Amino acid sequence: MSDQGRWLYAVADRGAAEDHAWLTGVAGVAGGEVRAVRSAGLTALVSDVDLGEFGAEALRRNLEDLRWLEEVAWAHHHVIEAASRHVSLLPIRLATVYGGDASVTAALVERQREFTCALAQIRDRVEWGVKAYAAPANPVPAARASSASGTGSGSGTGMAYLKRRRDELAANQDAQRDTTAGARAVYAELAGHAAGARLHPPQSPQLRGSKAPMLLNAAYLVRRCDATSFAAAVASAANAHPELRLELTGPWPPYSFAGGDAW
């Protein structure tokens, strides 16, 4: 066994990836040259990696190194992204490493059915990410709170303060309920414009530039040619929900839909 392993990026149809001129010049993880390994009517995109850095022990250590991880993650994504402009493909989870071409071939043969089914689901479709936050300058709580405080502010007593405080809290709770319900509604509305929808855990507001908590972190599988109409749907959802700020990212290779389950 050599000290070179095969890093797996994606699996595509053999036919779709037959002409892989677009692969030339695409640098993979650790600068490796990306190439195709074909079997069972499928194509695997791989590059050689040094097992000294990408073997089991080293990987375990390196994956905990955020700087190393960042570099590898970008390289992995870059290859998948570049290839996905040309073919429909299944992105493979980071750090899937084989000992040689023969084991890659064996994996294609062994899981041919699964790959073929999953490829059929994502063919000519891309992933769009939609995140929702509470709109930063949400005027609702402030307006409610000030109108409430207006009624009791004349007395200036402790009771008035408590009432004002209680109203403020209630207004905040109402606003929070509104935005959460809004985010749920947006998720469902947009799902109507997509072939698949996935809910991801919201990303942490900790250390984030904005303090606004993420209320929705969703991924949608959309036909490649429907990009404009999906963006329009997001824009109209944003108009219908002024309490939210929506963010659209993409198109992404269909990372969230490569697993194929839970449609």
Partner 1 sequence: MTSGNIIQPGGGTARAYGGGQAASGHAPANLGDILERVLDKGLVIAGDIQINLLDIELLTVKLRLVIASLDTAREVGINWWENDPWLSADAGRRASDRDLRAENRRLENKIRELESGQPGHDGGGRVPARRTRRAADDE
Residue ranges in 227-246 that form contacts with partner 1 under rule CB under 8 A: 227-228, 231, 234-235, 237-239, 242-246
Contact call for residues 12 and 42 (beta carbons, < 8 A)? yes
Nearer to partner 1, 57 or 192 (CB): 57
Pull the structure tokens for residue 89.
Answer: 């493909």
Region 207-226 residues binding partner 1, contact defined as CB under 8 A: 207-209, 214, 219
Nearer to partner 1, 166 or 208 (CB): 208
Any contact of residue 118 with partner 1 (CB under 8 A)? Answer: yes
Which residue in 36, 235, 200 sits closest to 127, CA to CA?
200
Give the C-alpha separation, 122 to 141, whole Å. Answer: 43
Residue among 3, 18, 63, 147 that touches partner 1 (CB under 8 A): 63
Residue among 43, 47, 84, 121 that touches partner 1 (CB under 8 A): 84
Which residue in 257, 256, 255 sits closest to 91, CA to CA?
255
Residue among 32, 91, 141, 196 that touches partner 1 (CB under 8 A): 91
Q: How far is the CB of 107 from partner 1 (least distance, A)?
A: 6
Binding flags for partner 1, 139-178, as an x/- string (CB under 8 A): ----------------------------------------
In Å, what is the CA distance from 251 to each residue of 5, 84, 154? 31, 10, 56
| Cα 172 versus chain centre, distance | 30
Any contact of residue 59 with partner 1 (CB under 8 A)? Answer: yes
User: Among positive and negative, which fits the CA dihedral 179, 183, 188, 190?
Assistant: positive
Report which residue type is found at 123.
R
Any contact of residue 77 with partner 1 (CB under 8 A)? Answer: yes
